[in-house]
Amino acid sequence: MKSFEILGNKDTRSGFGAGLLEAGKNNPNVVALCADLTGSLMMNDFQDQFPERFFQAGIAEANMMGVAAGLALGGKIPFTGTFANFSTGRVYDQIRQSIAYSDSNVKICASHAGLTLGEDGATHQILEDLGLMKMLPNMVVINPCDYNQTKAATIAIANHHGPVYLRFGRPKWPVFISEDTPFVIGKALMLSEGADVSIFATGHMVWKAIEAGHILAEKGISAEVINIHTIKPLDDDAVLASVLKTRCAVTAEEHQMNGGLGDSIAQLLSRKQPTPLEMVAVNDSFGESGKPEELLVKYGLDTVNIVEAAEKAIARKNG
Amino acid sequence: MSNLSNLPEIATQIRRDILRMVHAVNSGHPGGSLGCADYLTALYFHYMKHNPEAFEISGNEQDIFVLSNGHISPVYYSALARSGYFPVSELATFRKLNTRLQGHPTTHEGLPGVRVATGSLGQGLSVAVGFALQKKLDNDSSTVWTLTGDGELQEGQIWEAVMFAAHRKVDNLIVAVDFNQKQIDGTTGDVMGITELSSKFQAFGWTVLEMDGNDWDNIHQVIPQAQSQLGQGKPIVIIMKTEMGQGVDFMMGTHAWHGKAPNDEQLEKALNQLPVTTLGDY
C-alpha cells in the first residue's frame, strides 16, 4: 500500500474558493452567484477581485438557479454557491428544467455536504444529493476528496461546457493529492495498486480508504485504492479493469447507499462483470448533530468499516 | 419590422394557426394562446430588435424573449414560425412524436427561437433576469422581454425574482403579466387571489404600466412607453389585461379552454370568426 504524505489540513470548500478565484482570473466569462453564504462557501476572494461578476442572490435559491441559467444561456459561465442541501433538493425542478434540460452551462457548487457538516444536524446534512443529481440527464457529478483536488476540479469544470454538480464539504481534512495532479473529469485516479480487493472511494471517504488500505496491508491484504471523483460519467473502464484483477470490491462514500457511488458501481458490475461488492454508506437514515468524526463512527463510515467491508468482500469471493 | 397596419392580420393568422394546431393533436392550450396573440405579434413583428435568420441561443446584440408560461406554446410557435425562425409548415408537427415543437417549449430539440425550456411555472422570469444581467455585463444595450401568466404569479420563485431584479436595478427588462384572471381551476380570484397587482410590483420597486393586450391602439401606446422607461434603474412590468380565448366568441369569458382543444365542428365555427388572411394557413 502506497503511503501518502499529509500536505496539510484544509477544508475542501477552501479549495473551491481558491479554484473559483483562479477560474475567474483565467476566463472573464466566469461569474459567481451566492445565496447568502459567501463566507461559508469561501467565495469572498472572488467577490473582492471581481465585484461586477459576483451576484448576491439572497436567501432565494430557486431564483438564483434561474438567474444562473439565463447568464449561462447568454454566454457566461456561472458558478452558484450554497450548501449542498439548498443546491439540490430545494431547487430540483429549477435545475431540471432551466439547467439540465436546457443544457445551461451552470456549475452548481455545493458545500457542507454529508454527515461531516457536523453540529447543524440532519436538516442540513444532505445525503441524497449525488443520487438526485446523477439521475438528471446531461448532468456531470463530481465529489473531490481534498483541498487540492477540489481546487483543480473547480478550475476544470470552468473549461467543460455543460451543467456540473460539484460537491464538497465543511471540515478541515487531510490534504494528500499533490498540487500538480491533473484533474480529468470522468477519469478515476489510481491511488494505490493492489491485488486482493478494490476500494472505490469518493469525497472525504477517500482518506479513510487510504487509512483502511494500510490496516489491510498489515493484515497481509493487498487493497487497490481508487479515487472516483467523478460519479457521473463513471469511469467504467477503470472500475472493470480493477475488479477483473481483484474480483471483489468495496465502495465508500458520505452519502445514502441508495443512489450513491456504490449504487452506480453495483449497476455497472451487475451488467458487465458480476462481482462481490460491499458498500460503506449511510443505510437509509438521516443524520444528526455531533462532531464530524463522531458521526462517521456512529453511522458506520469510519476506517474500520472499510476494513471490515473489504474482509467481507474477500470472504465472499473466496466462499 | 412590419407596418403597424399589418399587425392585426398577422395576429388573426396566428390565431388560426393556434386553433388548427391544437385541434390536430386534440391537446394543447388555446385559451391563453389566443389571449396573447396580439402581444406576441406586436413584439415579434414590430417592437423586438431581432434577427430570426441568424438565431443563436445567446442572442447577443438582439432583443430576447422568454416565455415563462410555456403552456401557451401554440402562440409562441406560430409567432416564431411566421416571423422566420423556422418553416411555417413545421407547425403541423406540434406535439407529435419526434417534433421540435414539444408540448412545452424546449431548447432540447434545437428549435430556433427558443432559448430555454419552460412549462414548469415560475422559472422564466429568473432566466430572463439572468439574460438581462449578461447583457449588462457585456454592454449589450438590447432588451429582454418576458411574459408570465397571472396564475403563475402564485409561484414563490416569481417574487424572489421580482425582489432580485429591483435590488439589482435590472432596467433592461420588460415583463408582461398576462392578466386574464383565469387559471385551470377557475378564476384567479377564486383559486388564489392575486389582488392589488400593480401595488405589489410598485412596492417591490418596479415601474408598473397597465395595458389592454387586445386593443391595438393601447398596445401601441403602452409598449413604446415601457421602452422609454428602460435604463432608468428599475425593472418594468406591464400588467396586460387580456381575454382568454380572444377572437373566438365561445372561448371567451370562461376558463374552459385553458387546456382543451376544439372538436371538428368547434374548429370550423371558430375559424369562421377569424377570416382567412393573405398569409395563408400552414
CATH number at residue A193: 3.40.50.920
Is there a contact between A67 and B157 if contact means CB atoms under 8 Å apart? no
Do A106 and A22 reside in the same domain of the chain? yes
Q: Which domain holds residue A226?
A: 189-318
Band of pLDDT at residue B274, cut at 50, 70 and 90: very high
Q: Is the domain of A306 the same as that of A207?
A: yes
d(CA A78, nearest CA chain B) in Å: 10
State percent of chain A over pLDDT 70. Answer: 100
What total number of domains does chain A contain? 2
Q: How confident is the model at residue B109 (pLDDT cuts 50, 70, 90)?
A: very high
| The residue to which cell 457511488 is assigned | A261
**Domain edge (last residue) among A173, A202, A228:** A173
Tell me which chain B residues have a C-beta less than 8 angstroms from the C-beta of A96: 120
* pLDDT given at position B49: 97
Other CB atoms within 10 A of residue B279 CB: 16
Does A45 lie in the same domain as A114? yes
Chain mean pLDDT for chain A: 98
Partner residues linked to A118 by β-bridges: none
pLDDT of residue A182: 97
| Contact across the interface for B129 and A58, Cβ inside 8 Å | no
CA atoms within a 13 Å half-sphere pointing along the CA-CB vector of B132? 32
> Nearest Cβ partner of A76 from B57, B128, B137?
B137
Which residues in chain B have their CB less than 8 angstroms from residue A64's CB? 126
Q: How confident is the model at residue B60 (pLDDT cuts 50, 70, 90)?
A: very high
Q: Does the beta-carbon distance from B138 to A104 stay under 8 Å? A: no
Instruction: Tell me the mean pLDDT in the region A91-108.
Output: 98
pLDDT over threshold 90, residue A207: yes
Whether A227 and A157 share a structural domain: no
Residues of chain A positioned with their CB less than 8 A from the CB of B64: 74
CATH class of B4-272: alpha beta
Tell me whether residues A63 and B126 touch, CB distance under 8 A: yes
Mind telling me the catalytic residues of A?
A: 61
- What would the pLDDT profile of A142-186 be if each residue is shown by its tens digit? 999 999 999 999 999 999 999 999 999 999 999 999 999 999 999
A152 shares a domain with A26: yes
pLDDT digits (tens, 9 = 90+) for B129-176: 999 999 999 999 999 999 999 999 999 999 999 999 999 999 999 999
Question: Residue B180 has what pLDDT?
Answer: 97
Interchain CB distance below 8 Å, B129 and A66 = yes
How many angstroms separate the CA of residue B102 from the nearest CA in chain A? 13
Cβ within 8 Å, pair B164-A98: no
Q: How confident is the model at residue B3 (pLDDT cuts 50, 70, 90)?
A: confident
Mean pLDDT calculated for residue range B181-202? 95
CA distance B31 to A249: 58
Which of A65, A70, A101 is the closest to B108 by Cβ?
A101
Residues of A in contact with B121 (CB under 8 A): none
Chain B residues with CB-CB distance to A under 8 A?
57-60, 64, 66, 106-108, 115-120, 122-135, 137-138, 156-157, 160-161, 163-164, 167-168
A94 contacts chain B (CB < 8 A): yes
User: In three state form, how does the secondary structure of chain B look?
Assistant: CCCHHHHHHHHHHHHHHHHHHHHHHCCCCHHHHHHHHHHHHHHHHHHCCCCHHHCCCCCCCCCEEEECCHHHHHHHHHHHHHCCCCCHHHHHHCCCCCCCCCCCCCCCCCCCCCCCCCCCCCCHHHHHHHHHHHHHHCCCCCCEEEEEECHHHHCHHHHHHHHHHHHCCCCCEEEEEEECCEECCEEHHHHCCCCCHHHHHHHCCCEEEEEECCCHHHHHHHHHHHHHCCCCCCCEEEEEECCCCCCCHHHCCCCCCCCCCCCHHHHHHHHHCCCCCCCCCC
The answer to whether residue A104 neighbours chain B at the CB level (below 8 Å) is yes
Tell me, rounded to whole angstroms, the distance of Cα A181 from its chain centroid.
17
pLDDT band at residue B8 using 50, 70 and 90 as cut-offs: very high
Q: What is the CATH number of the domain that holds A64?
A: 3.40.50.970
Residue A268: phi and psi, rounded to 5, are -65, -45
- What's residue B74's pLDDT? 98
The per-residue pLDDT of chain B, averaged, comes to 97
pLDDT in tens, A40-86: 999 999 999 999 999 999 999 999 999 999 999 999 999 999 999 99
- Are A165 and A307 in a shared domain? no
A251 and A166 in one domain?
no
Contacts of A34 in chain B (CB under 8 A): none
Summarize the confidence of residues A91-118 as an average pLDDT: 98
Q: Are residues A62 and A168 in the same domain?
A: yes
Distance of CA B242 to the CA centre of its chain: 11
- Inter-chain CB proximity B131 and A70 less than 8 Å: yes
A102 lies in some domain: yes
A27 is a domain residue: yes
What pLDDT does B238 receive? 98
Question: What residues in A contact B156, CB-CB < 8 Å?
Answer: 62
Is residue A144 located within the same domain as residue A168? yes
Please judge whether A60 and B60 are an interchain contact, meaning their C-beta atoms are less than 8 angstroms apart. Answer: no
Q: Is pLDDT at B1 greater than 80 in this prediction? A: no
pLDDT above 80 for B2: no
In a domain, A184, yes or no: no
Q: In terms of domains, do A55 and A144 share one? A: yes
